[in-house]
Amino acid sequence: MSRLFADDDILDDLQRLIEEDGSSPEPPLPSRRQRPRRKKNQDSLFSLLIQPIAAGILTGVLVSALILSGIWLFQRGRLPVHTPPAGDMSSDFDETFNANSNGDVETNQEASPEYSLPVYAGDSRGLTIELREPAGPHLNASQLYQAQRAATVSITVYAGKTASYGSGMILTPDGYILTCAHVVENKESCTITTEDGSTYQAEQVCMDEQTDLAVVKIPGKNLSSVTFADSDSLIVGDPVYTIGDPLGPQFGGSLSNGIISGLNRQVSSNSYVMNLIQITAAVNSGNSGGPLFNDRGQVIGVVNMKMSSSGFEASIDNMGLSIPSRTVKQIVEELVQTGTIKRAVLGISCHSINETTSRISGMPEGLWVITINEKSDCAAQGILPGDIVTAVNGTPVNSVSRFKELTSGLSPGDRVTLTIWRDPVLSRQLQESQQKDGASSGDDSLPADESAPAESDQEYHFAYYGDIEVQLVDSNQLAKD
């Protein structure tokens, strides 16, 4: 007790001194009789136990809320993402897949088709591409980059006030450059920049829109060049690398890596069906035309597009696509030899009627003929708009990609037998409509739109019409006036 009273006396003396000084803005200290000593002990207990517990609960609630919000936003696809530069040009690839070539970044306005690159006047007929077996030591990413960077190039193209970017690879030491057709088509000039910073004006050697391949020429000498491996030797899971210019020169010579995640992926482009290699390596606008390497530093493909999630609720990531090296060899060598690619076609445009569409529309599965080129043998043999091709040489067909599989390897002049189903009333309506509207006849055997006819109240009355043998024709002949 003596200790307690001594402390109390000291506190009273301190209070008196403070009051006499008058300098403290704080309220006076409580007297000995006013101080709730038990309350002080209770406050200490609260500080030591209750406050930390409350703070922990509050923190847990906030963290949980943030996590749940993040999960909800992720599921809704609303998490903020990096937006490419304004003007990122979308390609004409089939909307069913919503693919995006992303080969060039438009910086002003879309290029006008009135432009074209100067044509190379030299003789390129000796240009060949050798497909080798995968050989040599396995390289890690750093080793591959050091070995192959000098064989890749940056591409800048111009059309009026429009500047665009792409990637490419050096085929030969004297300056033949391989890239994608959509990178250089409808452009008036093309500048090639090599790894050492040297720039060259390029001229067009050849281009094929259907396979999206192009070759240009620069006045090079002793340039580093790539070697090719056969893409037919690839298996899913193989490691791959690509070097290119995502988003243009600012990120020139970027390396990305991944694996082969799929082979023979069929994607439509400008009414054509392409068989491509699917990869997980990052592909962005400006990468088109760049090489796809195996882990030995050999080119196994040409990067030309990626899948985009634009317009879809679901997010799409790591789905790049590449043109196989076997296609590159076949197309490039024929182009430089003849200047064109001969393709065997029927000369019709059509819609695909698959199983689902058949159930909705009541039409048989097959290829629904929309237009027929008057120069084709299909027109000569009496096939009409509105007919449905249900089989080719007796094998059922319900998609353009399936048709391409069944007719691959055929040449102009070869014959196929088409199984035809017909609704006479519908055929007559389509013919009258096209004559009234002046619709142009189809110049290819692939549809401008593979989408199915919309569901309607119209009743169809298709019946087996017959098997008709027709001759495949050269697509170049159909295109001529």
Q: Which amino acid is at 293?
A: F
Residue 260 CA to residue 239 CA, distance in Å, equals: 6
Residue 209 CA to residue 91 CA, distance in Å, equals: 12
Residue identified by tokens 């009627």 is 353
Q: Which amino acid is at 202?
A: A
444, 35, 18: which is closest to 273 by C-alpha?
Answer: 444
Q: Compute the Cα dihedral for 166, 172, 176, 180 and give only its sign.
A: negative
CB 343 within 8 A of CB 323: no
| Per-residue tokens: 186 | 């409808």
Residue 286 neighbours by CB distance under 10 Å: 30
Residue identified by tokens 């017909």 is 422
Residue 318 CA to residue 278 CA, distance in Å, equals: 9
Residue 289 CA to residue 241 CA, distance in Å, equals: 14
Residue 256 CA to residue 295 CA, distance in Å, equals: 12
**Strands 213-217 and 176-179, sheet pairing:** antiparallel
Backbone angles phi, psi at 73, to 5 degrees: -65, -40
| Per-residue tokens: 110 | 């879309």
Residue identified by tokens 């006013």 is 34
Please enumerate in sequence order all residues whose Cβ is within 8 A of that of 86, keeping only pairs 6 or more positions apart, or say none. Answer: none
CA distances from 316 to 99, 177, 243, 310, 446 (A): 11, 31, 22, 9, 27
φ/ψ bin of 98: left (φ > 0), alpha (ψ from -120 to 50), beta (otherwise) = left
| Per-residue tokens: 51 | 């406050």
Q: Which residues are catalytic?
A: 182, 212, 288
Radius of gyration, alpha carbons of the chain: 35
Residue identified by tokens 């004559």 is 435
| Per-residue tokens: 181 | 């057709």
Count how many residues are written for the chain. 481
Q: Which residues pair with 154 in a beta bridge?
A: 167, 193
Residue 151 CA to residue 185 CA, distance in Å, equals: 23
